[in-house]
Structure 1
């Protein structure tokens, strides 16, 4: 693990009117780590993801990625720097094919120009061919290549989740943010997801930050865990540390632990 963090969150917070949704959060993620972010409903986890990806701009603190400040950058700029995400509620293009959903991500990295596409130049066709070949390779990894011409909205829920992760990976991120990927999955699908997360981390040499309410999943795959409650960081450490932390138990159970 490198000595310099890939992602450094320094005293970050955001205020909406008089409400501090996230306040004074510090965190560091290193290359190749798989880190969990947990907390009760309304703790500020998805807001934190929105800060990292440029959906919201911090009102305090700074976010550094690879040593570069992200504050104020647009989401597409942050994606190009190497941060990609999935969403708590699946956001696929339902009326596009499985293949086209993945190709959308490749278009953000396309080498051919918009002008070449308008004029239908050879570089446009060669670029489109290359993107399609790469997209199919990704679909094979996720066992979705046999469904590449199926409309995304027609896929079963578990396969839609896999497609969303495939699309996020197609942007070639260094850091992948997964927002409750196991939501709505049955136990078998969750087990397969755990295996998939471990595989893609190793296969793509990724750093992964995972929001999840499924505690067996978090405890089973994450090396370190951060815990938010009411927008503040209340604990961090190994799964064993978090499992036995009185502040964490109190946050989830709503009562003080003696």
Structure 2
């Protein structure tokens, strides 16, 4: 269940590219344990916002706070270590690596054995590698992928590739999981299975989740609150019912003024 303790807070966040404002004045607050949606028409700035949260871009205005710690200017790997993981609109697995190795890669960012122990093949290297592999296999069991652990990631069906990408993101032990259009390309049955999976992982891993999605049945079905972006600015925020009936949101999606 969500609490009133803020996990993530953005204050007036924005970014310019060549003098053009892609995002401006974005104020978003996420509480621990919440499942929140971020929606808007194509080009509204949703993925750009995710790139700001994860250090791919640095804001040109405003601040990003995770548990009262400023993230502005930190590189992506440090932000991952502090507790933010993401998936991508276009799946970005290591296609030539096995399913198992894709998950192990995420665990290596948290590995306790040193680089020197790996270079010199010390006992701590082998014990650390064994621990990582055992944990990765446990993750694959949770996501029902253990039977394909030695397959190349690129050979998996689309739905399984999506599950693997989420599993890899969770292997970094995030506090906040960012899902960028996880239902893209899925049929209705796969979308329903994804909804169930998101609800399951939220409860099992006690996660806060921010979800970008164009499938409104998914967003309205699982999100507690929804933020709406249009042309780089927030135009609405509320419960699914409030967003569904908001004239500004209807206008943004239909491209016409609602009387």
Q: Same fold (TM over 0.5)?
A: yes
The answer to whether residue 4 in structure 2 is matched with residue 3 in structure 1 is yes
Distance (whole Å) between structure 2 residues aligned to residue 242 and residue 217 of structure 1: 14
Indicate the SS of the match to 2:58. Answer: coil
Matches within 5 A, 1:55-134: 55-134=56-135
1:254 aligns with 2:245: no
Q: Secondary structure at the match of 1:37?
A: strand
CA contact (8 A) 2:89 2:180 kept: yes
1:24-35 matches, cutoff 5 A: 24-35=25-36
Name the TM-score, length of structure 2 as normaliser.
0.99
After TM superposition, list the pairs within 5 Å mapping 1:109-188 onto structure 2: 109-188=110-189
Distance 2:20 2:42 in 1: 16
Deviation at 1:2, TM superposition (A): 3.5
**In angstroms, what is the RMSD of aligned CA positions?**
0.5
Q: CA deviation at 1:67?
A: 0.6
Q: Distance in 1 between matches of 2:39 and 2:4?
A: 25
What residue in structure 2 maps to residue 222 of structure 1? 223
Mapped contact 2:177–2:207 kept (Cα < 8 A): yes
* Separation (CA, whole Å) in 1 of partners of 2:181 and 2:256: 25
SS of aligned partner of 2:24: strand
CA distance in 1 between counterparts of 2:256 and 2:5 reads 38
Taking structure 1 as the reference length, what is the TM-score of the superposition? 0.99
SS of the residue 1:167 aligns to: helix
Aligned residue pairs total: 258
Shift of 1:4: 3.1
Structure 2, unaligned runs of 5 or more: none
Q: What residue is the counterpart of 1:191 in the other structure?
A: 192
Q: Distance in 2 between matches of 1:4 and 1:178?
A: 22
Q: Deviations over 1:6-51 (max 9, x none)?
A: 0001000000012100000001000000000000000000000000
Given the alignment of the two structures, is residue 211 of structure 1 paired with residue 227 of structure 2, yes or no? no
Instruction: Find the residue that maps to 2:237 and give its secondary structure.
Output: strand
Runs of 5+ unmatched residues, structure 1: none
